[in-house]
Amino acid sequence: MSANHGSTRPWSYDAIADVYATDMGQSMPFDDVGWYRALCLREGGRALELGCGTGRILIELLRAGVDVIGADRSLPMLMRLRHDATEHALSPNVLQMDIAAPGLSARFRAVLLPYSLITYLRDPAVAQHCVGALAALLEPDGCLVLDAFVPQQVTSFADFRRDYRRVHEGGFLERHKRITANTDGTNRIERRYTLLDANDRVISEFETDETIRPYSANDLCRLAQSANLVVESVTHDYNTTADTLSRFATLLARKPA
């Protein structure tokens, strides 16, 4: 499952755990948190958030009273989650786990894969196997939510281009990015991060390199159906845009009762 292309640098999320909230946390333009909160409150029962990261969604679910546990492949992300949760007097139940090998025997009313988690399974056969294993974690009538960046026209560029400069912990975080559109439908995304102090002096620099596969709404439907789940709804950009312009497709599929 490694996306390191043979390098010895840490896996991307291990490297960015301490800047995630300023980085991808701030890059989500939609109220996906509100969408997941409403879903979990409507469904009731116990939920499992896979790829829970530093708890951007998980902490808000817990604050809303949802009975949820989290799992993530990245220990640094989980450690940051535990740290941030203490600010809300929460002590979340989390475990380190790769979704490609979900070693759980508990059953859940809702299994969530937010913020395009499925895109890290860039081999569709692995994704299909994984969705089958996750469907087995559902209670009868329970639901699986698959969320994905939808395929867009991607143009490769060879130079690193500036993505943003954001205020971060009394200084700044800058990110540059290079994208390579691969012929197999995956995209390689290389990111360079620079942490600066309030006087613009560089504190540290680090890089990530990952390859992801976008999944269309139809791809998500096929994955769910291959696991004998019944497709209930497809939401685009958490109900804010028309499907033709959407960035995210979110599929809700249910296990027959």
Ligand X SMILES: C[S@@+](CC[C@H](N)C(=O)[O-])C[C@H]1O[C@@H](n2cnc3c(N)ncnc32)[C@H](O)[C@@H]1O
Q: Please report, as a single letter, which amino acid is at residue 169.
A: E
**CA–CA dist 131, 239 (Å, integer):** 24
Indicate whether 120 belongs to the interface with ligand X (CB under 6 A).
yes
Indicate whether 39 belongs to the interface with ligand X (CB under 6 A).
no
Q: Which is nearer to ligand X, 130 or 221 (CB)?
A: 130
Q: How far is the CB of 250 from ligand X (least distance, A)?
A: 12
Return the residues of window 150-189 that contact ligand X according to CB under 6 A.
none
Indicate whether 99 belongs to the interface with ligand X (CB under 6 A).
yes
**CA–CA dist 30, 240 (Å, integer):** 8
Q: How far is the CB of 1 from ligand X (least distance, A)?
A: 5
Selected range binding ligand X among 73-81, 157-165, 185-193, 226-234, rule: CB under 6 A:
73-81
Pick the binder of ligand X from 15, 19, 43, 51 (CB under 6 A): 51
Tokens of 73: 């492949």
Q: Which is nearer to ligand X, 43 or 72 (CB)?
A: 72
Indicate whether 72 belongs to the interface with ligand X (CB under 6 A).
yes
Indicate whether 133 belongs to the interface with ligand X (CB under 6 A).
no
Pick the binder of ligand X from 108, 115, 193, 215 (CB under 6 A): 115
Q: Residues near 71 by Cβ (< 8 Å), separated by ≥ 6?
A: 48, 49, 50, 51, 52, 94, 95, 96, 97, 99, 102, 104
**Which DSSP state fits 198?**
T
Indicate whether 47 belongs to the interface with ligand X (CB under 6 A).
no
DSSP, collapsed to helix, strand or coil, labels residue 53 as coil
Strands of the 187-196 sheet, one edge to the other? 161-168, 171-181, 187-196, 202-212
52 C-beta neighbours (distance < 10 Å), count: 28
Please give the residue ranges that form the binding site for ligand X (CB under 6 A): 1, 13, 24-25, 50-53, 56-57, 72-74, 77, 98-100, 114-115, 117, 120
